[in-house]
Structure 1
Amino acid sequence: MDERDWILIQTLYQEKNITKAAQMLYISQPALTNRLHQLERKLNVKIVNRGRRGVQFTPQGEYLAKAASEMLMAIQRIKENVLNFEDRLTGTLRLAVSNFSTDYLMPSLLKAFKEQYPGIEFKVTTGFSSDIVDLIYSQEVHIAIVRGDYAWNGQKHLLFEDTLSIAADREIDIRKLPELPRIDYHTDPGLKHSIDHWWHENFSEPPLVSIEVDKAGTCKKLVANGLGYGILPSMVLNGNDDIHTNVIHTADGNPIVRKTWMLYHEESLELNMVKAFVNFVKESDAREWLTD
């Protein structure tokens, strides 16, 4: 079995559908089916069963799917180590980045890094911070950028801190928030917990959520148009003079702070491209890359 076979098995396991897997692999459905049958004959096992509900992996197929992830990771590391012998910095840096940082931090950061190290490419995975942490734990990525504090025994570097604020298109009486329309947005569990905890410390009734949107940026635009108030990080609100803000505080009077971290494994620094990225970030002020 070669790398393409492991990719085929992994993709089919993820999609659970022959047609979708073929599309992901940019091959025809008959070609995928034929190669799958060849693998089954070569290994003398049944890998999948096909039914009306799609592809069902047999116990042997489940084992091969797990092995596919391990084999592809091993192949990737071999390629990285071979490239690491070269004098010039090349390779693909695997990053996992929180949705928030993807929108406001990474475009400028990656552009600046690419200008200095043109031989390094990126593979960026995005998601909620709670999911991103899992990827760095399992070493599926070289570096993770997360929002919030997580249990982590590896190396980490604080990029910046920002506060949470009540944001509205005009000055509002914070005591009357339960009576006012609120705009909520999808965010990671850590930030949602901080907001909910603050609310329960200050109010005995639930918020009047009138609009729910997908991102903080969309929430900010609706706030600016007078459709309600939002509870947003200062990173989103910087430079928006038309929005009135009130920093929210804990019961003991401290502002609620949200930290953004760069996480990585110490052994990853043995790869020159990882070391270059880590040093590049550490030697700069991350706030200079923040964009609206």
Structure 2
Amino acid sequence: MDDRDWLILQLLYQEKNITKAAKLLYISQPALTNRLQQMEKEFGVQIVNRGRRGIHFTPQGEYLAKSADKMIAHLQHIKDHVLNMGDKLTGTLRLGVSNFFTDYKLPGLLRLFKDKYPDVEFKVTTGWSSDVVNLLHHQDVHIAFVKGDYNWRNEKRLIFEETVCIASKTPIELNDLPRLPRIDYHQDRFLKTAVDHWWSENFNQPPSVSIHVDKADTCKKMVENGLGYAMLPHMLVEDVEGLHVIPMQNEDGTALLRKTWMYFHEESLEIKIVKAFIEFIEEIDLHDIH
């Protein structure tokens, strides 16, 4: 069994379909089937049963598939530490990054780090912050960049704060908000909770949501076209000319802030590439990254 075999088992267990797993692995279906047969021969057990509706794992096959996560993580751990033994900073840095941070900060950030350490490669997995935190829990990534205050009990650094604001194509008064068309988008739960709390502090009637979209960028374009107002992180609208922006404030007069955190495991600092990247993040000002 090599690391490719464990990856085959992992994806096959996730997809329960040989054709889909083969496509994800960029190999032919016959090649995957052949590797599966070789694994069955090696262990002397049947790993899957094939049926009309796909494949079903046998008890032995399910045990092997569930072991795949641990084996892949162990092999990656070995590779990290072998590369760590050399003097040269090299290897692949595995990052889990929230969608919003990926769009607005990550490309410039990685470019600057690559300029400093040209032999470093990146493997980036993007998604909602809650999914990214799960990746870090399972040690599928070295470092996670997340929006919001998740219950992370290991190492973390607050790397960025931005004001949440009300953006509109035309000037508006706060008192008029309940009567104006609002554009909402799918927010992470921390931002949604903060915005909902702000609304309940200021109004005793619900907002008039006229459009609901899935992404913040789409929401911004709707605002730019004068279709309504939206509550958006300032980073999203700071480069848009002609928008009227009102920073949101809590009841005590403080700014309504959205925080970006960098999470990681303390033991990851023993890996040179991870330590160098964390130190790099701590030294720069993310507000200057575009």
Normalising by structure 2, what TM-score? 0.95
Runs of 4+ in 1 over 3 A off after TM superposition: none
Deviation at 1:182, TM superposition (A): 1.4
Q: Which residue of 1 aligns with 2:251?
A: 251
Indicate whether 1:126 and 2:164 are aligned: no
For residues 251-278 of structure 1, give each alpha carbon's deviation from its aligned partner in whole angstroms, at most 9, with x where no partner exists. 3332211111111122111111111101
Q: Which amino acid aligns with 1:284?
A: I
Partner-residue secondary structure (3-state), 2:162: strand
For residues 211-265 of structure 1, give each alpha carbon's deviation from its aligned partner in whole angstroms, at most 9, with x where no partner exists. 2223212211221110111100111121334111112222333221111111112
Alpha-carbon distance in 1 for matches of 2:222, 2:75: 47
Q: Which amino acid aligns with 2:41?
A: R
Q: Which residue of 2 aligns with 1:140?
A: 140
Deviation at 1:114, TM superposition (A): 0.4
Alpha-carbon distance in 1 for matches of 2:128, 2:140: 16
Alpha-carbon distance in 1 for matches of 2:197, 2:49: 48
Q: Which residue of 2 aligns with 1:108?
A: 108
Deviation at 1:148, TM superposition (A): 1.2
Identity among equivalent positions (%) equals 59
Q: Which residue of 1 aligns with 2:235?
A: 235
Q: Provide structure 2 residue ranges, at least 5 long, that are not aligned to the other structure.
A: none
Indicate whether 1:180 and 2:180 are aligned: yes
Alpha-carbon distance in 1 for matches of 2:198, 2:60: 50
Alpha-carbon distance in 2 for matches of 1:286, 1:262: 12
From the superposition, tell whether residues 196 and 54 of structure 1 become closer, same or farther in structure 2 (CA, over 3 Å). farther
Q: Which residue of 1 aligns with 2:286?
A: 286
Alpha-carbon distance in 1 for matches of 2:60, 2:200: 50
Contact kept in structure 1, 2:73 and 2:139, CA below 8 Å: no
Contact kept in structure 2, 1:10 and 1:69, CA below 8 Å: yes
Alpha-carbon distance in 1 for matches of 2:162, 2:193: 16
Q: Which has the higher mean CA deviation after the structures are superposed, 49-58 or 126-135?
A: 49-58
Matches within 5 A, 1:201-212: 201-212=201-212
Alpha-carbon distance in 1 for matches of 2:227, 2:55: 46
Deviation at 1:155, TM superposition (A): 1.8
Query: Number of residues paired by the alignment?
Result: 290
Q: Which residue of 2 aligns with 1:157?
A: 157
Alpha-carbon distance in 2 for matches of 1:92, 1:279: 17
The alignment's C-alpha RMSD in Å is: 1.5
Q: Provide structure 1 residue ranges, at least 5 long, that are not aligned to the other structure.
A: none
Indicate whether 1:36 and 2:27 are aligned: no
